[in-house]
Each structure stands twice: as C-alpha cells, then as structure tokens.
C-alpha cells in the first residue's frame, strides 16, 4: 500500500481501502488483532488521505438469522412486505449493536462502513458500497481519482453517467460547436472521438473490442441518420421505459436461439453521405453530435443490464440495440434535442449552454441504486451464447 500510494501516475496510486470483516454473531468479536493494528495505522495518519471503508460481509446470513428468530405470534396478520421490513429493522439493529458500536468505540470516530452480500437479491448492497467508495474518494482525493473509481467499477450505471459528464466537461463537450479537435475532419472522425471516450467510461468486458468495431460504429451512425422525430409531450424515466422492451426481448430468447435482427445489413451496404462531410457549424451537425452522445450512452446503459458483467458478445450488443430501438426513449431524446437546438439564438456562441443541456439530459436518464435493483430484478438471465455474426 505504501508503494502504490507513492506512485507518480494517478491511475496506479492507492485510491481507497476496503477492510472486509464478516458480520459476527451476537456476542462475537468484531475486530481481530491485525484489524485493530490496521485501523490504528489509519488513525495515526500512515495512509494519509486515502479513505478506508469497513465492509461488513455476508449480510444475507445475518438477515436469515434474524428472520428465523422472529416471534411467529407477532407476525400474525402482517403482510409479506411488513414482515420484510421487520426483518430489515432487526438486521440493522443487530449490525449497529455488534459492528458499528464496537467499531466507533475502538476508533473514536465515524469510519465509513457498508453492509454487503454477494448472494442473489442483494445486488443493491454492492451498489451502495460502490456509491460510498466514490463519495469518499471524491471527498479526500483529487477529483480525477473519483472519476477513475467510477470508470473501473461495473456495478453502478449511475456513476458511469456521472463520470461521463465529468470527462466531457474536462475535454471538448464544452466546445462542440467550436472544437479545434473536430475542425477540418470528416464527421465520421469526429464521431469516432466521441465514441471511444464514451465506450472507455463504461469499461465493459470486451476482449474482442466489439464496441469499437466498425459494424457497431455504423449502427450508431445509422441511429442518428434520421434526425426528424415525432413531437411528444410524454416524459419518462429510463427504468420504466426500458424494462418492458428488455424483458420482452429476453423472454423471446428463452426459446430457440433465433438470430437477433438489427439494421446492420443495410448499414454495410450504405452509409449516409453526411458521415463523410467535413465538420462545420450548423444546427443539423449539433443535433447529430448531441444525438450520438445520448444514443450511445443509453445503448450502453441498456447493455449494462443485458450483459450482467459477462464478457460481451455480438448477440448481447444487438439485443441491447434492439431493446433501445423498441423503447420510446430514442424518439424522446431526439425530440428534446430538436426542441433545444431550435431554441438557440446564436449557435456559434452556445458551447456552455450546449454542455449544460447534455448534462441535464444525461442526469434525467441516470439511475439510482434503488432503480438499478428494481430493473435488474425484472430482467431474466438469458444465455447469450453461442455468439452470432453482426
């Protein structure tokens, strides 16, 4: 840890420590001697600003134990939901008495902590741990370390959106209409820059680099080819509007493994001429750049739920694309962009406002831990192998 803490490159440095301790039974000892020594070194400043988060593991075992010890007579007439709340309250009380109290007594301070389980149905606890870690890193280290934390993790899609916004602000999103990086380049090259940055933030397990393939790029460019959208006044959240199409698509895959058909073939034959035009300031160009950023972000957010942290296949990517195209979000995003661009007074001087609008739209579709858990519970686990061609 000392070696990593002093490395010159931020990406190689120590950003946080998870101190994992299994939740003990009532009366059991929480801190072993080695754990106490480590906490003392933190309190004495040996780790400097590097945050330590105490991770209390196997929370599911505690919940089961609390449920078994409930007085059955006291449960008469209670709904299943009320019983679950009663169990949760009992488990939280147990954690406070056997873990948090002794921990605070030893350290004399409030050490960040999280209760987790890797058992099925407890994914929200992992999301909470990742959220707490990102918050601690952001509070105690330089902002770029928190961004790296969000990029590295594969649990919380909401933090991916936050990292994407931060990276966009640091780079060229704040100058989409006056960007020297894009000047004198064809639109396909400008989109390639945007594409790579967004894909990198999501950090999928993509050893074959399918997300950087020309086939996937062409598919995304086709998605912004038609920039005319039907006007709509309906507002929705990502979870409510995406769960239906994803669940429907995955349900269809539970039978024979029929190929997933997306408009890849048409793209391979014809790519719109505008892709080869040289970047220039216009409302159409702005709409396409904004649409590409939003569509790609939301397709990858859909892929997050479809892939479930597994190695990516072309079949999984095509399923995510098809689910997104089947949802009402694509047209809603385009309508929001069109309404915004048409309302701009002076296009060439609107860079700051454009960045704010992209941030606003991304935050609108960002999901918190509870929404992530709710959507994941609805999505069945489907084997996306064997793979299939584009």
**216 close to 389: Cβ distance less than 8 angstroms:** no
Each residue of 288-306: pLDDT tens digit?
899 999 999 999 998 998 8
CA 199 vs. chain centroid, Å, equals: 12
The pTM (predicted TM-score) of the whole model is 0.84
Residue 382 reports pLDDT greater than 90 = no
> How do residues 178-228 score in pLDDT, each as one tens digit?
777 788 888 889 899 899 999 999 999 999 999 999 999 988 988 887 665
CA distance 141 to 146: 8
pLDDT tens-digit profile of 224-240?
Answer: 876 654 544 455 555 55
What pLDDT shows up at residue 233? 46
Share of the chain above pLDDT 70, in %: 87
Are the C-beta atoms of residues 137 and 153 closer than 8 Å to each other?
no
Q: CA-based diameter of the chain, in Å? A: 77
| Cα–Cα distance measured from residue 287 to residue 271, given in angstroms and rounded to the nearest whole number | 18
User: What pLDDT was estimated at residue 125?
Assistant: 92
**Alpha-carbon span 255 to 308, nearest angstrom:** 20
Residue of 377, 378, 345, 365 lying closest to 295 (CA atoms): 365
Q: Provide the CB-side half-sphere exposure for 66 (13 A, CA).
A: 20
Contact 324, 302 (CB under 8 A): yes
Structure tokens belonging to residue 306: 């479809």
> Given this model, what pLDDT does residue 282 score?
83
**Rounded Cα distance, 12 and 152, in Å:** 12
Task: Pick the range with the lowest mean pLDDT from 132-136, 269-273, 379-383.
Answer: 269-273
What are the residue ranges spanned by the domains of the chain? Answer: 2-152, 159-378
**pLDDT higher than threshold 80 for residue 331:** yes
Average pLDDT of span 123-146: 90
Answer positive or negative: Cα dihedral of 88, 92, 98, 103: positive
Retrieve residue 292's tokens.
Answer: 């590409």
Residues 6 or more apart whose CB falls under 8 angstroms from that of 357 comprise 290, 340
Using a pLDDT cut of 90, give the percent of the chain over it: 35
Q: Assess contact for 23 and 98: CB atoms under 8 A.
A: yes
Q: What are the Cα distances from residue 290, in Å, to 34, 190, 286, 357, 360? A: 53, 12, 6, 9, 12
Q: Looking at the chain, how many residues does it have? A: 390
Instruction: Give, rounded to a whole angstrom, the gap between the first and last alpha carbons of the chain.
Output: 45
Whether 287 and 294 have beta carbons less than 8 Å apart is answered as no
pLDDT higher than 60, residue 254 = no
pLDDT in tens, 54-94: 999 999 999 999 999 888 877 888 888 888 899 999 999 99
- Round to whole Å and give the CA distance between 378 and 343: 39
Selection from 372, 379, 375 nearest residue 161 by Cα:
372
Q: Identify the residue whose tokens are 């075992």.
A: 61
Task: Please tell me the distance from the alpha carbon of residue 185 to that of residue 215, in angstroms, as a whole number.
Answer: 21
Return the minimum-mean-pLDDT range out of 120-129, 138-147, 253-262. 253-262
Residue indicated by tokens 């010890």: 69
Cα–Cα nearest to 179, from 336, 367, 350: 350
Q: Per the structure block, which two tokens stand in for 378?
A: 């609805």
**Paired sense of beta strands 52-57 and 17-22, if any:** parallel
Is pLDDT above 80 for 242?
no
CA angle 342, 346, 351 (to 5 degrees): 90
pLDDT tens digits, residue range 341-380?
888 765 555 667 788 888 999 988 888 777 777 777 777 7
Query: Mind giving me the DSSP string for 78-147?
Result: --HHHHHHHHHHHHHHHHIIIIIHHHHHHHSS---EEE---STT-HHHHHHHHHHHHHHHHHHS-HHHHH
CB 192 within 8 A of CB 217: yes
Residue 159 sits at the vertex; the CA angle it makes with 350 and 247, to the nearest 5 degrees, is: 105
Question: Is the predicted pLDDT of residue 276 greater than 50, yes or no?
Answer: yes
Q: List all residues 6 or more positions away from 113 whose beta carbon is below 8 Å from its beta carbon.
A: 53, 54, 55, 56, 99, 100, 103
């Amino acid at each position: 840890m000392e070696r990593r803490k002093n490395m010159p490159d931020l990406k190689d440095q120590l950003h946080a420590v998870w101190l994992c301790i299994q939740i003990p039974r009532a009366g059991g000892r929480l801190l072993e001697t080695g754990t106490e020594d480590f906490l003392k070194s933190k309190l004495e400043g040996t780790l400097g600003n590097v945050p330590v988060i105490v991770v209390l593991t196997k929370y599911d075992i505690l919940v089961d134990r609390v449920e078994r010890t409930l007085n059955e007579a006291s449960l008469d007439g209670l709904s299943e939901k009320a019983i679950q709340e009663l169990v949760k309250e009992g488990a939280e009380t147990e954690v406070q008495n056997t873990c948090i109290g002794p921990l605070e007594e030893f350290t004399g301070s409030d050490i960040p902590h999280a209760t987790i389980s890797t058992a099925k149905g407890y994914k929200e606890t992992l999301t909470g741990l990742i959220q707490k870690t990102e918050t601690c890193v952001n509070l105690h280290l330089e902002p770029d370390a928190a961004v790296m934390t969000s990029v590295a993790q594969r649990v919380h899609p909401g933090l991916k959106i936050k990292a994407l916004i931060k990276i966009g602000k640091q780079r060229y999103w704040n100058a989409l209409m006056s960007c020297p990086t894009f000047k004198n380049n064809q639109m396909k090259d400008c989109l390639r820059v945007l594409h790579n940055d967004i894909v990198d933030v999501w950090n999928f397990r993509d050893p074959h680099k399918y997300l950087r393939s020309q086939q996937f790029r062409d598919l995304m460019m086709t998605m912004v080819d038609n920039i005319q959208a039907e006007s709509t006044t309906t507002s929705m959240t990502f979870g409510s509007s995406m769960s239906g199409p994803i669940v429907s698509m995955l349900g269809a895959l539970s039978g024979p493994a029929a190929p997933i058909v997306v408009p890849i073939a048409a793209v391979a034959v014809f790519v719109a001429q505008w892709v080869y035009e040289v970047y220039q300031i216009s409302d159409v160009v702005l709409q396409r750049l904004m649409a590409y950023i939003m569509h790609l972000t939301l397709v990858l957010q859909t892929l997050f739920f479809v892939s479930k942290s597994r190695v990516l296949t072309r079949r999984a990517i095509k399923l995510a694309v098809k689910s997104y195209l089947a949802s009402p979000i694509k047209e809603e995003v385009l309508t929001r962009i069109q309404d915004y661009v048409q309302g701009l007074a002076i296009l060439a001087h609107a860079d700051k406002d454009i960045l704010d609008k992209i941030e606003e739209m991304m935050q609108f579709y960002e999901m918190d831990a509870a929404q992530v858990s709710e959507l994941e519970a609805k999505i069945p686990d489907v084997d996306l192998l064997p793979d299939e061609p584009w």
